[in-house]
Amino acid sequence: MSQNSACQEAVLSTQIVPVQSPTSLEKAIAILTSLSKASHPMSLAELSRSTGLPKTTAYRLLGTLCRNGLAQRIGIDYAVGDHLLTLAGHGRRPFPAARRIVLPHLVRLYELTRHTVNLAVARGLEAAYVERVYGQSRIDSPSDDIDRAPLHCTATGKVLLAFDQELGQSFRRHGSRTRMTRHTLVTDTALDRELHRVRRQGVAYAREELAKGIACAAAPVFGPDGRICMSIGVAGPAGTLHLPELAAVVRRTANALSSAVGKHAARQPTPHLTPAPRLL
């Protein structure tokens, strides 16, 4: 072999870097990332497309994640598991810098009402409270400590169902309509009628549907794309709340918050999107 050939072979050998296949851990992380970003439960096909994983691989890893509480089955779809939510606390915010944007509006709403203020997003088929300002006259609620509540019997949950079409369809197919009190809406007909009213009026009410003695009003917060990104509500003792007056204040706050979210998004640089690599 000539000296030049030997040199060229040596150079080529240093340029060849073996391609390492993603580990099982990296594939599982990709699945959990997709589930955490979704506003509704994802099917196996959707997870396969979003992660680039073959369906067989995704199905095998989902089985492991579900057994350990990091993911959960909802009908034939998948969502983030309760154990992972517990480990993560409040979890993902609705958008970057969300707390800085929303907290002044929540505090102002509390100052106007002196009742508990909740900011909720959809997570799986539940309403997850990502911010809360508690009022002094609050009543104990099943959502205390876990910061989650059913969609069908809370005002914030009804708003999410009414204005998120995909979430509404998933809930209709796989959602649990547990009767929490004698006032809880548990039939499709009753809930459909209620959600139609919410869309028409732009505000939702829950009157002792989650727990006895608690009433609430909520309104949608929309992102710059015109889609709902969260719901904001006020809850308090059912015997003292005047819900129509409360709803007007909540709706004004939701509108102001939608405007603030839009202005924040307009100031952000447009990201350069690159195709996600396919995981094998």
Whether 21 contacts 280, CB under 8 Å: yes
Residue listed under structure tokens 């069908």: 152
Q: How would you classify the pairing of strands 214-222 and 228-237? A: antiparallel
The pLDDT assigned to 279 comes to 43
Q: What's the CA gap between 276 and 260, in Å, rounded?
A: 31
Q: What's the CA gap between 40 and 30, in Å, rounded?
A: 17
User: Phi-psi bin for 263: left (phi > 0), alpha (psi -120 to 50), beta?
Assistant: alpha
Q: Provide the residue ranges of all domains of the chain, joining segments of one domain with +.
A: 23-87, 98-266
Q: Which residues of the chain have pLDDT under 50?
A: 12, 90-92, 271-280
The pLDDT assigned to 235 comes to 94
Q: What's the CA gap between 214 and 79, in Å, rounded?
A: 29
Q: What's the CA gap between 169 and 257, in Å, rounded?
A: 26
pLDDT, tens digit, 9 for 90 and up, residues 178-194: 999 999 999 999 999 99
Q: Do domains 23-87 and 98-266 have the same CATH topology?
A: no
**Nearest in space to 114 (alpha carbons), one of 204, 248, 234, 242:** 234
Number of residues that this document lists for the chain:
280
Quote the CATH superfamily of domain 98-266. GAF domain (3.30.450.40)
Give me the architecture of the 23-87 domain, per CATH: Orthogonal Bundle (1.10)
